[in-house]
Amino acid sequence: MIDINLIRKNPEMVKENIRKKFQTEKLEYVDEILKLDENVRSLKIEGDNLRSQRNSLSNNIGMLMKNKEIEQANKIKEEVKSINVRLEEITKQENVLTEKLNSLMMVIPNIIADDVPIGKDDSENVELERFGEPLAPDFPIPYHADILTSINGLDKESAGRTSGNGFYYLMGDAARLVTAMINYARDYMIDKGFIYCIPPFMIRSSVVNGVMSFAEMNAMMYKIEGEDLYLIGTSEHSMIGKFKDQILKEDQLPITMTSYSPCFRKEVGAHGIEERGIYRVHQFEKQEMIVICKPEDSMEWYNKMWKYTVEIFRNLNIPVRTLECCSGDLADLKVKSCDVEAWSPRQKKYFEVGSCSTLGDAQARRLGIKAKGEHGTYYLHTLNNTVLASVRALIALLENNLNRDGSINIPKVLRPYMGGKEIIKPQQ
């Protein structure tokens, strides 16, 4: 949610930002917000004036009663009654208009950074940099589900019986590899000074509404029937929610946290759920990172965060690249975002394995996260980044560490988490 003062002072800039996001249906909301805001402020002024008048009259009643001027006192009492009736009307009108105003403010997209490329969707994202040579071996790379099957590592048939399409059992060394990657990513982030956290895996609607747009919520999150709780789609939501309605001291900043969690996603949309593989599924595990910092520090942290992910994947012998997300591919709360994509030697192209975003003070405004400094309180900036998402990282690792004979090299950084094991051989 942007600052309403920005709409008051520069509505045309807000409209231009909406055009850059290709959301022209929202242009009329800016004018509607200005009208609602004007009406709400007029009602507030009227209410304040009436309260002041009522206080003055109430003081007069006391004096008149003391002087036995009962008739005059009763007349003023009627005036006060009339004021109270009007104040009640004002409160009702103000509440209705404020609710409409807030609902419109929630769908106005955040102001994107000046250097964000303009484009309609992810097809117009811009490659920034490559890390590692994207090579394909001189032998065919099987589909990742077939690689997993060769090491007795995947059972989707049983998961279909227990849970339905979009679920899976990882078995043996495949399951162990996922745990090794998550543990390595955790320790890597702890070494970078991040506080390790295992957060709640369910959050209330007030937190959901604070961290994401309604459209994202409907497409992603599972609601717990009969309760005000949602299963998290990513742990940054519950980590950011930890600071809801808090005023932090500047000497606490920046707050840097890394978390482990399972993630649950409906995956509603045209892309659908994969029948055979595990690229897009309803459940996976993830190591995540968040930063809460002063506004002036957010871009420095943004550039640190995505580089951490790149380094982790390179340490897993996986070539990656970074893509700058264009304006139309940015979620409404984001100021700037880049994707980290891993090389697929089977497909001879890159695929997304993580995303780093700065959201400015949008989440902080929705959740009431502030800091107290020398010149008063102010909203903080929030950032998040995928350290490692289990199934996509596993796919990239399998394809990029596969040998001609079907065996899989275990990257050196993972071997301490695999009991010293160096290679996984296919099973008969």
| Pairing mode of beta strands 202-203, 195-197 | unpaired
| Residue-wise DSSP of 138-191 | SSPPPPHHHHHHHTT-EEHHHHHHHT-TT--EE-HHHHHHHHHHHHHHHHHHHH
Residues linked to residue 383 through DSSP beta bridges, in sequence order = 291, 358
Rg of the Cα atoms in the chain: 28
Torsion of CA 18, 365, 234, 142, to 10 degrees: 30
Strand-by-strand arrangement of the 283-293 sheet: 126-131, 320-324, 336-344, 349-358, 381-389, 283-293, 255-264, 195-197
Kindly list the distances between the CA atom of residue 74 and the CA atoms of 65, 78, 100, 397, in Å, as whole numbers in the listed order: 9, 6, 40, 85
The per-residue DSSP string of 261-300 comes to: EEEE----STT---SSSSSS-SEEEEEEEEEEE-GGGHHH
Structure tokens at 215: 């459209």
Smallest CA-to-CA distance from 395 within 146, 169, 127, 180 is with: 146
pLDDT tens string, the chain, 428 residues long: the values are 899 999 999 999 999 999 999 999 999 999 999 999 999 999 999 999 998 888 887 777 666 666 667 777 777 788 888 888 999 999 999 999 999 999 999 999 999 999 999 999 999 999 999 999 999 999 999 999 999 999 999 999 999 999 999 999 999 999 999 999 999 999 999 999 999 999 999 999 999 999 987 777 777 899 999 999 999 999 999 999 999 999 999 999 999 999 999 999 997 654 556 668 999 999 999 999 999 999 999 999 999 999 999 999 999 999 999 999 999 999 999 999 999 999 999 999 999 999 999 999 999 999 999 999 888 999 999 999 999 999 999 999 999 999 999 999 999 999 999 999 999 999 86
Residue 409: Cβ within 10 Å count: 15
Ranges of beta strands (E only) in 299-409 are 320-324, 336-344, 349-358, 370-373, 376-379, 381-389, 408-409
Instruction: Name the token pair of 316.
Output: 């897993």
pTM of the model: 0.89
Domains of the chain: 4-105 (1.10.287.40), 122-424 (3.30.930.10)
Distant-in-sequence contacts of 371-377, Cβ < 8 A, 24+ apart = 371/247, 371/248, 371/249, 371/250, 371/252, 371/253, 371/294, 372/247, 372/248, 372/249, 372/250, 373/250, 377/247
A 10 A CB-CB count for 421 gives 14
Number of residues written out for the chain: 428
Give the span between the Cα atoms of 166 and 156, in whole angstroms.
8
What is residue 332's DSSP assignment?
Answer: T
Residue 98, both tokens = 């404020």
